[in-house]
Amino acid sequence: MANFIPNGEKIIQKIIDETKAQGATNVVINGDFLINDTIILPSDITLILDDCHLRLADGTFCNMFRNARCKDTDNRTRENADRNIKIIGMGRAILDGGEYNGLSERNSLKDGRPHISVNNTLLFTNVDGFEMRNLKVINQRHWAFNFIFCRNGILSNIDFCADYTRIDENGVRVQGLDKSKYGQTYVKNADGIDLRVGCHDIIIENITGFTEDDTVALTAIPGASTMVYAVENEPIDIYNVTIRNVVSSSFCTNVRLLNQGSSKIYNILIDGVQDASGDGKYYKGRGVAGVRIGDSRIYGERHSYKDETFNIAIKNVFSRAGRAISLVGEMTNVTYENIFGFDDCPILVDKENAKIY
């Protein structure tokens, strides 16, 4: 790591804090930094990464970025949300998870390990007004961007490249994933963008690259690990989300919607999903789906009802996955048009296990 400035988080945090103390809002960072601890972003700050490469140091267990009140669990209200936080890339702007630390969903909170959420590159909770733009995210250790009870945001021009190595039969780490040997995957569940319970009024557009799991996932599942971030009197639903122009290679799904256990997902527009995968650099085999709504497995208390998944429009999907669109469960007013398959995509629209009202 000779070319990276060590303890970069201390340098960047000092600049952020001094900028806020002066009443200014724009922080410009230039250079390559090793990050050993989380960079805390307060309200009304725009972090501009100008020809910048931030890399998590080996052996660390921390987010690269969190909002200032992310971990506050007392008096969490809409009024005391963090507001107007932006990370804008200029030129080369790389957020790099570095070498994987071994923490996974399977061993989270076991044997003294922290919760898997520390492996999110960015974790925002109760943020009203945010923007992430013109960023390249590589080697995420779990989900790259995780938003819980966040609203009024824009995620635009984000390119991902998750780790695509596996440990083969001989214990050798090799490049190229194989769906028939999923257990060998070195870094599992490396999503791109995750909107979780309580997120609404968000635009996601121009998303590219490779993600080991879902590229964009909207998952309204009110489990204990997410409801610790609940905002007083705020609904747990995901709604008013626009997803445009996702061109990605995904081991699992390009765009996924899932709600279980009384939460709702509604008023969602998905317009423009292009499967960029192939039997090449990243993995062999097909993804699960281009767009996936619902799941036969139970992740929450129960499957959703027809009045809990509704008003979802899907347009212009080009996929080589096992299903261009997969619909499972009860849903109302779900429409789709201009759905295309290539490379002998076996099923365009699978609704065999769905009830659409």
pLDDT band, very low/low/confident/very high, at 281 (cuts 50, 70, 90): confident
> pLDDT tens across 129-177, in order?
999 999 999 999 999 999 999 999 999 999 999 999 999 999 999 999 9
The amino acid at residue 210 is F
| Distance in angstroms (rounded) separating the CA atoms of residues 195 and 190 | 14
Measure Cα distances from 24 to 9, 17, 43, 48 in Å.
20, 10, 11, 13
> pLDDT tens across 69-89, in order?
999 878 899 999 999 999 999
| Distance in angstroms (rounded) separating the CA atoms of residues 75 and 233 | 11
Tell me how long the chain is. Answer: 357
Looking at residue 69, what is its pLDDT?
96
Dihedral of the CA atoms 179, 113, 199, 271 (nearest 10)? -20
The amino acid at residue 118 is V
Q: Which element (helix H / strand E) includes 154?
A: strand 151-161
How many contiguous H segments (helices) and E segments (strands) does the chain have?
2, 23
Three-state DSSP at 117 gives helix
Which residues, at least 6 apart from 300, have a Cβ–Cβ distance to it below 8 Å?
A: 221, 222, 223, 259, 260, 261, 263
**Both tokens assigned to 306:** 């027809």
Which residues, at least 6 apart from 42, have a Cβ–Cβ distance to it below 8 Å?
A: 16, 20, 67, 68, 82, 85
pLDDT band, very low/low/confident/very high, at 256 (cuts 50, 70, 90): very high
Looking at residue 38, what is its pLDDT?
98
Looking at residue 180, what is its pLDDT?
87
**Both tokens assigned to 195:** 């909107």
Per-residue pLDDT, averaged over 279-283, amounts to 82
pTM: 0.97
Residue 1 pLDDT greater than 80, yes or no: no
| Distance in angstroms (rounded) separating the CA atoms of residues 162 and 208 | 12
Instruction: List the domain boundaries for the chain.
Output: 1-142, 192-357
| Distance in angstroms (rounded) separating the CA atoms of residues 43 and 219 | 26
> pLDDT tens across 312-345, in order?
999 999 999 999 999 999 999 999 999 999 999 9
Per-residue pLDDT, averaged over 102-123, amounts to 96
Average pLDDT, whole number, for the chain? Answer: 95
Looking at residue 278, what is its pLDDT?
81
- The strand pairing partners of 176, in sequence order, are none
**Both tokens assigned to 60:** 């660390």
Strands 200-211 and 151-161: parallel
**Both tokens assigned to 249:** 């290679």
DSSP 250-307: ESSEEEEEEEBSS--EEEEEEEEEEE---BTTTEES--SEEEEE--SS-SSSSBPPTT
Residue 2 pLDDT greater than 70, yes or no: no
Which residues, at least 6 apart from 15, have a Cβ–Cβ distance to it below 8 Å?
A: 27, 29
Per-residue pLDDT, averaged over 242-263, amounts to 95
